[in-house]
Amino acid sequence: MDKFIIEGGTALKGTIKISGSKNAALPIIAASLLANTPTAISNIPRLQDIYTFNNVLRVVGAKVDFKDKENKLIIDPTNVSHLEAPYDLVRKMRASFYMLGALVGKHGYAKVSLPGGCAWGPRPVDLHLKGMEAMGINISLDKGYVIAKAEKKLPPASYKLEPSSVGATVNLLLAAVLLSQEFTIENAAKEPDVVQLCNVLVKMGANISGIGTDRVTVRGVESLQGVEIDNDPDRIEIGTFMIAGVLHPKSELTLEGCNAEHLGNFPDLLAKTGAHVEVSESTIKVKAPEELKPVSITTEIYPGFPTDMQAQWATMMTQAEGISTVTDTVYFDRFSYVPELTRLGADLRLEKNTVTIFGKTELEGASVMSTDLRASVSLVLAAMVAKNTTEVLRVYHLDRGYENLEHKLNAVGASIKRADE
């Protein structure tokens, strides 16, 4: 296992190129299986989750060519015949569960392992399954596997997601575009990742209305064709680097290759801390204020504050003068970073799904443990402003979701070394 050794106290200055989004890529990779011809996707990040998902696609018989130096992925689905995604691969990455919608949608049958739990508690898939049943798909469970069967074409139906779910919206869209005469998802997720999936499906030949709203209707078509597409930039990477660029009082970063439209009110919230934030279409500039002000946030579904950004925000608030709170309403248990930040000297108190941060605290290097993807990056952010040396253990979590993290940060002034644990 790898660890990071980080020398802190360094200001960041320079330009960072933003990578393609992992969470936006996975649904469109799954969608490529619905077509009759190959799909080529550019701006795919070189990340462990992408390599894992490519292997899931290979297991079912797709030809997958990842030209990783070019960040380009070509998927030929014409020989898909083994309609099963095994536990060994699905347990590594929850989004492999998208195979259920993609395989049953195209082939009328799928057997996919139930995903396991997560580092921050249970993450159910009940809505994916109930939604498919509402569509008319026959769902059964067998020794940890979900078996989905359907006869073409299914009669008109609808399903209301409560709560709204990104994953369930994706899986239901994948299942419905070929299989259902008409299927409406009420309270559908509106995240940019879902919107990109809808746009790609339409380009492939699907009939979808209500894209970007919480009521999406799919009218099944006979077939879909492969397309050439460009994956969206990673909005969570953008938000993470925006915070990295204001944590140290002398930092100043320019982020290139962004899509500011996907950030909701995040730039405005960051500006409330006193940070200087300049947003143009594809470039974002941030500059640290002399003193960060405390700003409290509550996570919500898009376009609210993303749960994937709350750990980084709490880390930033340890450097603000005053008291602030971070509340997560999407995932109540996503606070495993709290004791680790405390090890670095931060003053945080957790009660239910709210952490109160008492700033400003001088952070000082220590050994800390990564527990999940976003918790890990928050420890890297903290280590970069902490005095002396911090060791962040188990950085494999970071490799799942941040492309070239240490190279990108070292190029703008950080001091991060990767070593064996």
By CB under 6 A, how many residues form the interface with ligand UD1? 21
* CB 326, min distance to ligand UD1, A: 15
Using CB under 6 A, pick the residue from 60, 75, 330, 338 that binds ligand UD1: 330
Q: How far is CA 331 from CA 180, 334, 402, in A?
A: 32, 6, 21
Please report whether residue 127 would count as binding ligand UD1 according to CB under 6 A.
yes
CB 300 within 8 Å of CB 363: no
CA distance 121 to 244: 27
Using CB under 6 A, pick the residue from 66, 109, 145, 331 that binds ligand UD1: 331
Chain positions 154 to 213 lying near ligand UD1, rule: CB under 6 A, are: 163, 165-168, 189, 193
Please report whether residue 399 would count as binding ligand UD1 according to CB under 6 A.
no
Place of tokens 């701006």: 43
* CB 20, min distance to ligand UD1, A: 14
* CB 28, min distance to ligand UD1, A: 12
- The 10 Å Cβ neighbour count of residue 302 is 18
Q: Which residues of 64-93 are buried (b: 16+ CB within 10 A; e: fewer)?
A: bebeeeebbbbbbbeebeebebbbebbebb
CB 101 within 8 Å of CB 175: yes
Q: How far is CA 53 from CA 36, 131, 192, in A?
A: 20, 23, 20
Chain positions 336 to 365 lying near ligand UD1, rule: CB under 6 A, are: none
Chain positions 80 to 109 lying near ligand UD1, rule: CB under 6 A, are: 94-95
* CB 296, min distance to ligand UD1, A: 20
Strands 215-219 and 228-230, sheet pairing: unpaired
Instruction: Between 307 and 390, name the residue whose CB sits nearer to ligand UD1.
Output: 307
Q: Among the options 5, 114, 118, 147, which is catalytic?
A: 118
Stretch near ligand UD1 under the rule CB under 6 A, chosen from 6-14, 125-133, 276-284, 341-349: 125-133
Q: What is the DSSP string of 271-324?
A: HHTT-EEEE-SSEEEEE--SSBPP--EEE-STTSB-GGGHHHHHHHHTTBSEEE
Please report whether residue 124 would count as binding ligand UD1 according to CB under 6 A.
yes
Using CB under 6 A, pick the residue from 96, 113, 251, 307 that binds ligand UD1: 307
Please report whether residue 128 would count as binding ligand UD1 according to CB under 6 A.
yes
267-306 footprint of ligand UD1 as x/- string (CB under 6 A): ----------------------------------------
CB 240 within 8 Å of CB 12: no
Please report whether residue 116 would count as binding ligand UD1 according to CB under 6 A.
no
Q: Is 118 a catalytic residue?
A: yes
Using CB under 6 A, pick the residue from 107, 123, 219, 287 that binds ligand UD1: 123
Tell me which residue has its CB nearest to ligand UD1: 167
CB 80 within 8 Å of CB 62: yes
Using CB under 6 A, pick the residue from 126, 142, 281, 290 that binds ligand UD1: 126
Reading the block at residue 259, the tokens are: 């899509």
CA distance 330 to 269: 19
Reading the block at residue 409, the tokens are: 């940060």
Which residues is 419 bridged to in the sheet? 3
Q: Which residues of 183-197 are buried (b: 16+ CB within 10 A; e: fewer)?
A: bbbebbbbbbbbbbb
* CB 124, min distance to ligand UD1, A: 4
Kindly list the residues in this chain that would bind ligand UD1 in the complex (CB under 6 A).
Answer: 23, 26, 94-95, 123-128, 163, 165-168, 189, 193, 307-308, 330-331
Catalytic residues, which ones? 118
